[in-house]
Chain A
Amino acid sequence: MLLINCPWCGPRDESEFGYGGEADIARPANPDALTDEEWADYLFMRKNPRGLHREQWVHEHGCRRWFVLERDTVTYEITDAT
C-alpha cells in the first residue's frame, strides 16, 4: 500500500485516492486538423516507462483535488508531489 502525500491534506493511505494516468497530456487545440493516427496517439498512446513517471492522482475520499506526482514504476517510490 502506498502512502501518498496530498498537497493539501498531507500523507494519506492509497485507498483514499484515485489514479488518473500519465500527466501532462494536453488536448490538441484543433482536433479537426489532425490525422487519425495523430488523434489516436493523443487518445490512446501512453509512455509506460520503466522508472520515473509523472502521473495524476485525485484525493477522492479527502479534499477531492487533482494533483501530479512523480513515481518510480520499479520501486514505487514517490519522489515528487507538485
Chain B
Amino acid sequence: MTRKESGNVPDQMQRQHALASFLNGNSVPDSGTSGMRLEVRPHYGYLNLRGDPDDERFLQAVQQKLGHSLPGVPNTFTSADHTVFWLGPDEWLLSTALGREKEIAGQLAKNLAGHCYSLVDVTGGQLLIRLSGEHVRGVLAKGCTLDLHPRIFKVGQCAQTTLAKTSMLIALIDDTPTFDIVLRRSFAEYAARWLQHSTRI
C-alpha cells in the first residue's frame, strides 16, 4: 500500500466546539421563557491531574504553579486564576482560559519532575454549559439522581454524576442558582437537546 498524497487538506483545521452547529439551528432555553438560561461556555482549557494527596512535595509543587492549593475535601472545587475540581482522592480537573492550558501543563511538568504523577490535556474532550435561573434545580431533577437541594448541595461543591444517563461533572457556582456542568464532548449535543426538551412546560 502506498500512502496517497492528499492535496485538499486545509492547512488550518477550523476548531469548533461540540455545540456550534446545535446553536446555529436551535433556540436555547432562556430565563424569560423557561426560567432557566442555558449558556455554552467553550472558552476553557482542561487538564486532568493525578498524584498522591499525602505527598507534601507533590502538593507544594502544584500549588507553587497554580497559586492556590488543590481541593482536598471530596466533591469541592476552588477558584482563583483557574478552577480546580476534586474528581477523586488522587485526581483533579483544572480548567483555565482556553489556550493557557499548554503553558500551565508545561510548567507543572517542570515543577513535578521526579514525582509520580499523571497530567493529561483533556481540553478537546470536554464542554462546559452554564445553567442559571429559578427553575434549574427542577429541570436537573428530571434527569439527575443527585440531591441538589440548597440544604444539601452548596456553593463550592461539585460532583461527578449522571444527567439523563450521560456522565457529567456538576458544580454550584452561586445561589442564583448557577450550575456549571462539564460534559463529554461527544455527548454534549445529546445533553443539550435533553435540557432543551426538559425545559418545555
Which of A's residues lie within 8 Å of B, judged by CB? 8-10, 12-13, 15-16, 61-65
- Determine if B159 and A62 form an interchain contact, defined as CB atoms under 8 angstroms apart: yes
How many Å lie between the Cα of A34 and that of B111 in the bound state?
48
Residues of chain B lying within 8 A (CB to CB) of residue A61: 160-162, 167
Residues of chain A lying within 8 A (CB to CB) of residue B160: 61-63
How many Å lie between the Cα of A8 and that of B75 in the bound state?
8
The minimal Cβ–Cβ distance linking B168 to chain A, given in whole angstroms, is 9
- Determine if B74 and A8 form an interchain contact, defined as CB atoms under 8 angstroms apart: yes
Residues of chain A lying within 8 A (CB to CB) of residue B191: none
- 0/1 per residue, B135-165, Cβ < 8 Å to A? 0000000000110000000000001111000
How many Å lie between the Cα of A16 and that of B146 in the bound state?
10
Which of B's residues lie within 8 Å of A, judged by CB? 74-75, 87-89, 91, 145-146, 159-162, 167
How many Å lie between the Cα of A61 and that of B159 in the bound state?
10
Q: Of all chain A residues, which has the CB nearest B167?
A: A61
Most buried by B among A12, A16, A63, A65: A63
- Determine if B146 and A12 form an interchain contact, defined as CB atoms under 8 angstroms apart: yes
- Determine if A63 and B87 form an interchain contact, defined as CB atoms under 8 angstroms apart: yes
Residues of chain A lying within 8 A (CB to CB) of residue B87: 63-64
Residues of chain B lying within 8 A (CB to CB) of residue A10: 75
The minimal Cβ–Cβ distance linking A63 to chain B, given in whole angstroms, is 4
How many Å lie between the Cα of A12 and that of B146 in the bound state?
7
